[in-house]
Amino acid sequence: MNRIFVSYNDWITFILTGIIFLIGIGASVLGYPEGLSICATLVNLLFIIKFRKVIPMFILFSFIFLYTKTFNIYFIDHIGVSFWQDFQTPGIINTVLINHAIFLVFLGNLISAEVKVVKTDLFLHFKPDRVLFSVFLVCSVFILIFGLTGETIFQSGSYGTSDTVQKSTLHEYFILIFLFVMLFAPRNFACQSLLIFILLLYMIKTLLYGGRIEVVQVSLLYFYLYYVFKDKIKLKYVVLIIFSGIYFNEIVSNIRTNPADLIQGNIGQLMIPSGFFSNNHDIEYIASNEGDVIQSSARLIGLSGTAGLTPIKRGFSFISYLFSPIVPLSILPGYANLAAYEQDTYRSGGGGLISTYFFIWLGYIGPAIIAAFLAFVIRSFYQFENKLMMIYGVLLLITFPRWFAYNPVLLVKFCFYGVILYILIRLFILVLKKRQA
């Protein structure tokens, strides 16, 4: 049994982050939310340092930091976090921050930095199988062809302006299928080359249609399985990849906004990250995904204080969330999808922090509960004993851009479906063996 112990460094981080968190909460209660914003930033940085040797955790908390620092823009620089103004008030944004800080403290302290000592090469636990590899490869090619159709951003002129684009939910489920393609792929050069070729086709097609999150997730999947979990890469290269990824994301954003520049050869204009360099200190609000997500979170909290989202509706919304893997969203009430609920009246950029969702459903204990659940899954994954937890754990670790800042439904659907699919595979193999016996 792979046991993970709590180290001296874990205790030091726990004490420091606990003290800083309490100071921040005290400042917030006294009417100084900027104090909590600064403290949350310090806590986030301490967790990045704590997990510097656990690359998936280092990447996760670095991603979370992008949202944590955005609260400073609102409370310290006094700049709006989004174009959308509904419920973007100091009191409600402060509530969003409090729940974010609770989630942050619990998640970071309930995972030990000592998980790094456990070997996590998934390929040692899944044997190559040509039949299963072929089946899943065919499925992935089918999704690659039919999961995303219509005009590319170069044909429509910019991202989100074409009426012909048909994006099936299957397009993102390519990632789930491709996990099994990799796990069951023969280790020879030909199969591994075919695997990489299909992966690159998926990434290129996704980018041509303006997608980014799917590219990040499938890249993390390959990167983790072939490099991180095999301990084949050092932190300095990961940091370089992160900064390069952020820069690349800015370039893709520029191309999505105006692909004509690329066609016309205005490469230099596209190479300047619009979000990096700005001398305008008189702006009223920032234009960023992080800011939109925070405002969307504020919208949900604002709705919970009106007749639009009563406690009964919030309760049924949580039940709908739990049963969403087996109950179609189309037959559920509108408040089952909180991000879309009453968008005609109160607007937002979409999404929402996972801490806010669980605050809406369960109150202030909600962010702590979901943080404890995530920590349990990650610890179980690194103990590396149960294949079901391995499947769920790796899917959880690569889909954090979705479940943290968009919709936590991925935790009960996407990741859960991966476990169900593996169970069906095992049952199929057992039945096949019995018939052959």
Q: List, in order, residues 6 or more apart from 268 with CB less than 8 Å away.
A: none
pTM score of the predicted model? 0.89
**Nearest 5°: phi and psi at 428?**
-60, -45
With both helix axes pointing from N to C terminus, report the angle between 289-304 and 90-109 in degrees, rounded to the nearest 10: 110
**pLDDT, position 119:** 59
Query: Along the 437 residues of the chain, how does pLDDT read in single tens digits?
Result: 455 566 788 999 999 999 999 999 999 999 999 999 999 999 999 999 999 989 999 999 999 999 999 999 999 988 898 888 889 999 999 999 999 999 999 999 999 988 765 556 788 888 899 999 999 999 999 999 988 877 776 655 455 545 556 677 889 999 999 999 999 999 999 999 999 999 999 999 998 887 888 999 999 999 999 999 888 888 888 888 777 777 766 666 665 555 555 555 566 655 655 544 444 456 787 878 899 999 999 999 999 877 678 888 899 999 989 888 888 877 888 888 888 888 888 888 888 999 999 999 999 999 999 999 999 999 988 877 788 999 999 999 999 999 999 999 999 999 999 999 999 999 988 888 787 76
Give the SS3 label for residue 340. coil
**pLDDT, position 307:** 64
Cβ atoms of 274 and 254 closer than 8 Å: yes
**pLDDT, position 261:** 55
**pLDDT, position 276:** 45
Quickly tell me which residue has 């998926």 as its tokens: 202
User: How far from 349 is each of 83, 262, 409, CA to CA, in Å?
Assistant: 9, 27, 18
**pLDDT, position 306:** 76
